[in-house]
């Protein structure tokens, strides 16, 4: 159980393109979803936390107009990187948590984003 | 400030036992998680400790001492596939998950 699906797994696109990444909880209802970014050989960096039906809470330094997050249902959250530039190239990972705060986060497989 | 410390890298031999330590200083405590992350992949959940003591799950065990702000992950009968980074994460009083930088474990034959 506790499967999280993330698509696409790999994106290569031109600078200025907007890219949408989907995160779905397949077998549980995710009351909270998280979006992380990870640069090579570095730790996970939390970008934002979203609860179903409400606006995402962004971490300090993360541009909310650049990284649009939608959590429209208990099983789906999307991250849209708008007008992506080469510095946005990174490994983006979503996670989902159901139930109480003591439940672990379950991660999607991640999306490797390369902006040319 | 909030801080989680774990060794950057450890090396162990196939078939042996290794202990990965994690110490934390956080504003409050609401549980500690261990995750495994293979290179280029997303983390996978290993264990959760909220009370003091040892939690055993197959070849992996996790220990917690809240008074010492200390946890360890114990891996027994090491296999080559255990080569990965191991992430320690603590939930603070606001239930925010604070992540350690991870310990890269290298298994040698």
How distant is the Cα of A72 from the closest Cα of chain B, in angstroms? 22
* Mean pLDDT over the full length of chain A: 92
**Across A45-54, A78-87, A93-102, which has the greatest mean pLDDT?**
A78-87
Residue A31 pLDDT grade (very low, low, confident, very high; cuts 50, 70, 90)? confident
CA distance B34 to B109: 25
Task: Compute chain B's Rg from CA coordinates.
Answer: 13
Lowest mean pLDDT among A93-107, B1-15, B28-42: A93-107
Average pLDDT of the residues in B22-43: 94
How distant is the Cα of A112 from the closest Cα of chain B, in angstroms? 9
Q: With a cut of 80, say whether residue A102 has pLDDT above it.
A: no
Q: Mean pLDDT, to the nearest integer, of B13-19?
A: 98
- Rounded distance between C-alpha atoms, residue A38 and residue A82, angstroms: 18
- State residue B64's pLDDT score: 98
Which of these, B91, B94, B90, B87, lies nearest to B73 by C-alpha position? B87
Does the beta carbon of B36 lie under 8 angstroms from any beta carbon of chain A?
Answer: no
Statement: residue A48 has pLDDT above 80: yes
B51 — contact with chain A (CB < 8 Å)?
Answer: no
Determine the pLDDT at residue B96: 85
pLDDT at B13 over 90: yes
- The predicted structure's pLDDT at residue A100: 78
Q: Are A32 and A75 in contact (CB under 8 A)?
A: no
Q: Is the pLDDT of residue A1 over 80?
A: no
What is the predicted pLDDT for the residue at B1? 74
pLDDT at A20: 97
Which residue from A107, A26, A20, A106 is spatially nearest to A67, judged by alpha carbons? A20
- The token pair at A29 is 């209802």
> Does residue B2 have a pLDDT over 80?
yes
> Which residues of chain A neighbour B50 with C-beta distances below 8 Å?
102
**Given CB atoms, is A76 within the 8 Å cutoff of chain B?**
no
């Amino acid at each position: 159980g506790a499967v999280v699906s993330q698509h696409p797994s790999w994106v290569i696109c031109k600078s200025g393109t907007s890219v949408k990444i989907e995160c779905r909880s397949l077998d549980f209802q995710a009351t909270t979803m998280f979006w992380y970014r990870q640069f090579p050989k570095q730790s996970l960096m939390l970008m934002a936390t979203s609860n179903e039906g409400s606006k995402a809470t962004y971490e300090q330094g993360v541009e909310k107009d650049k990284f649009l997050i939608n959590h429209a249902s208990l099983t789906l959250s999307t991250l849209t990187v708008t007008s992506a530039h080469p510095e946005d190239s990174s490994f983006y990972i979503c996670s989902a948590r159901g139930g109480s705060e003591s439940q672990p986060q379950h991660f999607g497989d991640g999306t490797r984003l390369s902006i040319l | 400030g909030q801080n989680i410390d774990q060794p950057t890298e450890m090396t162990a031999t196939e078939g042996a036992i290794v202990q990965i330590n994690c110490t934390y200083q956080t504003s409050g405590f609401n549980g500690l998680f261990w995750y495994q992350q293979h290179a280029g992949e997303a983390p996978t959940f290993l264990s959760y400790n909220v009370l003091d003591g040892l939690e055993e799950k197959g070849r992996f065990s996790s220990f917690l001492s809240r008074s010492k702000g200390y946890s360890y992950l114990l891996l027994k009968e090491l296999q080559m596939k255990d080569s990965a980074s191991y992430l320690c994460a603590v939930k603070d009083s606001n239930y925010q998950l604070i992540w350690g930088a991870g310990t890269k474990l290298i298994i040698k034959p």
